[in-house]
C-alpha cells in the first residue's frame, strides 16, 4: 500500500445486511482511503490492519450502511415560508445550506440527492464538502429543476414586473433537451423535472400534468444519452403515468397514483419516493412559518391521499426509495419518515432498503453507496438496538462514519 494510505477498522456487536435482511454478529469493517477493503463477521479473522490503523470500536450497537435521502433541498429552510424569505440576499441560502448539510450528515445520512436549487448552489456545496471546508454528506446534485413555464418548478410567487423565471424552464422537447445539457455542463449528476403542479408553488394544481409525455420523454432520453439518472416531481395520476412511460427513473411525491400507475411502475421497474413525513411538519408549523393559506390548503388535500396511496403501493410491492423533501421540514430530521412509512404499511426492513440499497440502485450508484461491502465507500451509521424491530432508533444514531472517518 502507498505510504499515505489511511486505514480504519470499525467494529460493533451487530451489522444489518440490507440485501439479505440478516443480522450478522461481530462485524469488522476495514476502510482504506475511504473505501471498504474487507468485511468479516462472526469472529472470522479479519486481514491484519497496519499498526497505525485507527480503531473505531462502537460497542453494543448495530451498524448499517450510511443512509441515503433521495430528495432534499439543502438550500431551502422551512422557517421562511411564503414571502418571508424575500428579505434575504441570494447568497444567504447557500450560506445557511452549509449548516443544513452538516445536520444531515450527523443525522446518519451520508449521501443525499439534492433535487433542485438556484445558482448551482448544490454543486458548490458538494465541492466545498469534498474540499473539506464544510461538513456534509456526499451530494448528488441536480442543479435547477426543469419544468414548464409557469409550472411548479418555475418562479411562481412574483408579479410580471419582477420578471423572474427559473433558467431551467422549457416548453418543447427540443428546449428541454437543451436544459438537460446546460444543467449537466455545470455539474448536475441527476436531472430533476417537474411533471405536475405542486403544493408549495402559486397558481399550480398538484393533480394537473404540466409537461406532455413527449416532453418528459425528451428529458429522459437526453439524460440517458449523457448517462444521467432522472427524477420527476409528480403528484397527479396522469403526470405520474406519463413520467413512468417516458422512462423517468424515480417518481417523487407520487401522491395521487392510481392502481394503473402502481402496476405500470412495477412493470417498468420505476422507483417511487413518497415524502410521507413532511405533511405532519407543515400542518403543525407551516402557518407560523409564513406558509400561505393556499399552500397549507393544498397540503391538506395532498397529504391524506398520499399516505393512503403509499399504503396501496407498499401492499402491491412497488419498488420504494426514501425521498423526504427535507427543506420542507428541518434538515437533520430526515429519519423521521421511517416510522411514518412503517405506520402506513411498509415492512421495517423494506423501509431501511428504501434508504440504502434501493436508493443506490435507483441512481446507479450501487458501486459506491447503499451497502457495507468491499469497494463501497466506508459509510456507516450505528444505532442502539434493532432497527428492523423499531425503525425509530434510526432517529437517534449513536455514531456516523463517512469514508472511514467518524463524524459523530
Q: Binding ligand ARG by CB under 6 A: which of 80, 93, 109, 200? A: 200
Contacts of 205 (CB under 8 A, 6+ apart): 197, 236
329 interacts with ligand ARG by CB under 6 A: no
Closer to ligand ARG by CB, 199 or 372: give it: 199
User: How far is CA 201 from each of CA 3, 233, 249, 298, rounded to the nearest angstrom?
Assistant: 54, 13, 24, 10
Cell numbers representing residue 361 in the block: 440502485
Pick the stretch among 104-112, 195-203, 262-270, 385-393 that binds ligand ARG (CB under 6 A): 195-203
Q: Taking CB positions, which residue lies at the least distance from ligand ARG?
A: 198
154 interacts with ligand ARG by CB under 6 A: no
User: Is residue 86 helix, strand or coil?
Assistant: helix
103 interacts with ligand ARG by CB under 6 A: no
* Separation CA 35–CA 69 (nearest Å): 20
333 interacts with ligand ARG by CB under 6 A: no
Kind plus residue range of the DSSP H or E element containing 29: strand 28-32
DSSP characters for 37-85?
EEEE-TTPPPPPPPTTPEEEE--S-EEEEPEEEEEE-TT--TTS-TTGG
Pick the stretch among 60-68, 165-173, 193-201, 208-216 that binds ligand ARG (CB under 6 A): 193-201
* Separation CA 71–CA 146 (nearest Å): 15
Radius of gyration of the chain from Cα atoms? 21
279 interacts with ligand ARG by CB under 6 A: yes
110 interacts with ligand ARG by CB under 6 A: no
325 interacts with ligand ARG by CB under 6 A: yes
Kind plus residue range of the DSSP H or E element containing 406: strand 405-406
Q: Binding ligand ARG by CB under 6 A: which of 17, 122, 275, 333? A: 275
Closer to ligand ARG by CB, 306 or 371: give it: 306
306 interacts with ligand ARG by CB under 6 A: yes
Closer to ligand ARG by CB, 199 or 321: give it: 199
Pick the stretch among 29-37, 173-181, 299-307, 344-352 that binds ligand ARG (CB under 6 A): 299-307
Mark 251-270 with x for binding to ligand ARG (rule: CB under 6 A) and - for no binding: --x-----------------
271 interacts with ligand ARG by CB under 6 A: no
Query: How are beta strands 35-40 and 28-32 bridged, if at all?
Result: antiparallel
334 interacts with ligand ARG by CB under 6 A: no
Mark 206-235 with x for binding to ligand ARG (rule: CB under 6 A) and - for no binding: x-----------------------------
278 interacts with ligand ARG by CB under 6 A: yes
* Separation CA 135–CA 117 (nearest Å): 19
198 interacts with ligand ARG by CB under 6 A: yes
Pair 354, 391: CB distance under 8 Å: no
* 311-321 as b/e: b if 16+ CB within 10 A: bbbbeeebbbb
Q: Binding ligand ARG by CB under 6 A: which of 29, 188, 211, 302? A: 302
151 interacts with ligand ARG by CB under 6 A: no
Least distance to ligand ARG, CB of residue 299, Å: 5
Mark 230-249 with x for binding to ligand ARG (rule: CB under 6 A) and - for no binding: --------------------
The burial class, CB within 10 Å (0-12 / 13-18 / 19+), for 142 is buried
199 interacts with ligand ARG by CB under 6 A: yes
- State the number of binding residues for ligand ARG (CB under 6 A): 14
Contacts of 73 (CB under 8 A, 6+ apart): 114, 115, 116, 117, 325, 326, 327, 328
The burial class, CB within 10 Å (0-12 / 13-18 / 19+), for 90 is exposed
Where do contacts with ligand ARG occur on this chain (CB under 6 A)?
198-200, 206, 253, 275, 278-279, 299, 302-303, 306, 325, 328
Amino acid at each position: 500500500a502507498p505510504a499515505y494510505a489511511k486505514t480504519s477498522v470499525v467494529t460493533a456487536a451487530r451489522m444489518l445486511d440490507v440485501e439479505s435482511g440478516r443480522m450478522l454478529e461481530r462485524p469488522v469493517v476495514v476502510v482504506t482511503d475511504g473505501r471498504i477493503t474487507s468485511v468479516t463477521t462472526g469472529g472470522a479473522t479479519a486481514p491484519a490492519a497496519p499498526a497505525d490503523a485507527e480503531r473505531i470500536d462502537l460497542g453494543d450497537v448495530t451498524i448499517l450502511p450510511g443512509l441515503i435521502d433521495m430528495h432534499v433541498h439543502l438550500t431551502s429552510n422551512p422557517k421562511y415560508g411564503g414571502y418571508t424569505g424575500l428579505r434575504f440576499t441570494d447568497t444567504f441560502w447557500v450560506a445557511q445550506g452549509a449548516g443544513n448539510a452538516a445536520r444531515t450528515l450527523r443525522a446518519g445520512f451520508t449521501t443525499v440527492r439534492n433535487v433542485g436549487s438556484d445558482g448551482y448552489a448544490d454543486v458548490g456545496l458538494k465541492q466545498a464538502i469534498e474540499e473539506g471546508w464544510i461538513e456534509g454528506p456526499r451530494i448528488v446534485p441536480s442543479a435547477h429543476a426543469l419544468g414548464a413555464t409557469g409550472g411548479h418548478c418555475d418562479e411562481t410567487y412574483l408579479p410580471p414586473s419582477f420578471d423572474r423565471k427559473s433558467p431551467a424552464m422549457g416548453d418543447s422537447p427540443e428546449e428541454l433537451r437543451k436544459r438537460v445539457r446546460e444543467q449537466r455542463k455545470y455539474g448536475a449528476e441527476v436531472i430533476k423535472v417537474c411533471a405536475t403542479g405542486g403544493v408549495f408553488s402559486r397558481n399550480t394544481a398538484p393533480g394537473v400534468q404540466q409537461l406532455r409525455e413527449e416532453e418528459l420523454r425528451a428529458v429522459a432520453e437526453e439524460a440517458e444519452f449523457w448517462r444521467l439518472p432522472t427524477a420527476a416531481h409528480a403528484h397527479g395520476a396522469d403526470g405520474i403515468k406519463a413520467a413512468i412511460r417516458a422512462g423517468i427513473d424515480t417518481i417523487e411525491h407520487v401522491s395521487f397514483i392510481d392502481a394503473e400507475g402502481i402496476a405500470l411502475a412495477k412493470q417498468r421497474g420505476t422507483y417511487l419516493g413518497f415524502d410521507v413525513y413532511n405533511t405532519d411538519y407543515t400542518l403543525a408549523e407551516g402557518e407560523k412559518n409564513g406558509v400561505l393559506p393556499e399552500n397549507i390548503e393544498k397540503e391538506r388535500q395532498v397529504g391524506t391521499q398520499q399516505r393512503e396511496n403509499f399504503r396501496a403501493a407498499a401492499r402491491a410491492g412497488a419498488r420504494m426509495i426514501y425521498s423526504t423533501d427535507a427543506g420542507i421540514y428541518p434538515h437533520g430530521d430526515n429519519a423521521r419518515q421511517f416510522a411514518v412509512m412503517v405506520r402506513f404499511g411498509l415492512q421495517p426492513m423494506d423501509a431501511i432498503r428504501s434508504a440504502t440499497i434501493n436508493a443506490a440502485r435507483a441512481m446507479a450508484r450501487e458501486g459506491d453507496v447503499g451497502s457495507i461491502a468491499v469497494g463501497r465507500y466506508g459509510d456507516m451509521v450505528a444505532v442502539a438496538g434493532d432497527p428492523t424491530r423499531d425503525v425509530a432508533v434510526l432517529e437517534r444514531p449513536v455514531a456516523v462514519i463517512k469514508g472511514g472517518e467518524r463524524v459523530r
